[in-house]
Amino acid sequence: MRRLPPFAALRSFEAAARYNNFKMAAEDLCLSASAVSHQVRSLEEYLGVQLFHREKGKPTLTRIGATYLESIQDIFDRLENATNIVTDRGKRSSLVLHLLHSLASCWLLGLMPKLKLRHPDLDIKLLSATDSVEFSTGDIDAAIRYGDGNWLGLRSDFLMEDELFLVCSPDLAERLPPIENLDQLSEHTLIHCSLDPDEWKHWLAAAGNKELPSAHWLDLDSRGLVLEAASAGLGIAIGRMPYVVDYLSNGRLVEPYSVRIKTGKGYYLVYPEHHANFDTVVSLRDWLLDECHNLLK
């Protein structure tokens, strides 16, 4: 007979270690935080070792706990992969992609006809949300994330770099001052995205202006609204790829100044390692990489 610890206790430990938080692990497993804590303690008693330090209510892995986690995560991944093979999930023709709502509406939806031409049998469900993606539920195949490309336990494929630059309607661009006289922007409305309150400050500093030159602001809470307002001639906005690509290509927006700032972050297609060989993920990845490469030419 195999000497194996209780599977429920292993699941609770793996989730608690992955989140470094019993409450978040409990939400993931649809249990109470006290139940997760009890399962972890039962595993510690079974093994005869301490897996977590519990200081000020925040669990942190002990050295032996970190070693144990690394071993069992590989087992969990192989178990999930084996289950996917048996249920033929890796060969299915549908895919669930998680991304921000504004990224879907401003950019990806416009590309979907191209994807359909290339992969007519691939059906995609776009799951747009503002919360971070959680792959452990098994419902999501891949996601498009903004960041530095480093996410524990996930593979990431670089899509494009994030840059800050100004955009406005063609009519407004004709009335803007030269870049040497940016203080004259005080005569115009600056459109502000509350998702990143410092982006105007960063762009102006790169252009040689330390102060915000306008008392006229239009404050909006989504990238899509910001670009719609700018294209309607309501003011000048910060443009960011890939949100603004369609607006620039169809002429609704133009880039009045050549100053661009690299933020050091970008957009990545991310997915668990064991999803890397799913036919649907491979198809989406190859197509997205081609589209983003063409965009940057």
The mean pLDDT values, 10 residues at a time, for the chain of 297 residues are: 83 85 77 86 91 82 90 82 64 82 91 92 85 71 91 88 95 91 85 89 83 76 93 95 93 94 93 86 94 81
- CATH 3.40.190.10 residue window(s) in the chain: 93-161+265-295, 163-263
Would you state the pLDDT for residue 213?
A: 58
7-87 to CATH, choices 3.40.50.740, 3.40.1390.40, 3.10.180.10, 1.10.10.10: 1.10.10.10
Structure confidence at residue 5 (pLDDT): 86
CATH topology of domain 163-263: D-Maltodextrin-Binding Protein; domain 2 (3.40.190)
Q: Which residues contact 15 (CB under 8 A, 6 or more apart)?
A: 24, 25, 28, 29, 36, 136
Residues in the chain: 297
Q: What confidence score (pLDDT) does residue 84 get?
A: 65
Question: Computed over its alpha carbons, how large is the radius of gyration of the chain?
Answer: 24
Q: Distance between CA atoms of 202 and 210, rounded to whole angstroms? A: 9
**pLDDT of res. 191:** 94
Q: What is the pLDDT of residue 16?
A: 86
Q: Which residues are CB-neighbours of 55 under 8 A, at least 6 positions away? A: none
Q: CA 270, CA 276: separation in Å to the nearest integer?
A: 10
Say what the pLDDT of residue 146 is.
Answer: 92
The pTM for the full model equals: 0.69
Q: Give residue 260's identity as a one-letter amino acid code.
A: R
Q: What counts of helices (H) and strands (E) characterise the chain?
A: 11, 10
| Positive or negative: CA dihedral 206, 211, 216, 217 | positive
pLDDT at site 138: 64
CATH number corresponding to 93-161+265-295: 3.40.190.10
Express each pLDDT in 98-125 by its tens digit: 999 899 999 999 999 999 999 998 889 9
| The two three-digit tokens of residue 196, written as one number | 């990143």
Provide the 3-class DSSP secondary structure of residue 166: strand
